[in-house]
Structure 1
Amino acid sequence: GEEDADDLVRDFRDEYLGQYDDEEDFAYEIIEECYDLPEFAKTYFDYEKFARDLFMCDYWFDDGFVFRAA
């Protein structure tokens, strides 16, 4: 029914986080927005491993799009 379609749209809006080149690109943005790392620390930070951890449970990536896991 129509309510079901509304639920799908609402769920999509709640879970969709944006378009990214790859999982590591998303992880980089999370670090920039959520953590106050000094510039020198960012050069040593392992974005690849951080991305792997993020996408194990909390997020999923599909063809350039990132979603919050429900």
Structure 2
Amino acid sequence: MRLYSYETGYKGSPNKKGWTREMTAEVVDLAPRYVASIENSGQHPSLQSFYELVTLLDVSVDQFFPKGFKVIYNS
């Protein structure tokens, strides 16, 4: 999961909202290196971190799942 290899316009420079990696990390209380590993290495963040990042950066969650991905609910 390349959370935001900032296909929304990043890679070390500010993303579409103007947030640098360091600013983003500070707001969501993560280490900048961890944010970089999410971005570049496909590190999987916790659900809480994922939620905070996509909310902060206004990124659509569906872009992180393959086309045709279906959620199956077990009852």
TM-score bin, normalised by smaller chain: under 0.3
TM-score, L = length of structure 2 = 0.24
Q: Which has the higher contact order (CA 8 A, sep 6+)?
A: 1
Higher fraction of strand: 1
Computing the radius of gyration from Cα coordinates, the structure with the larger value is: 1
TM-score (norm 1): 0.24
Of Structure 1 and Structure 2, the greater helix share is in 1
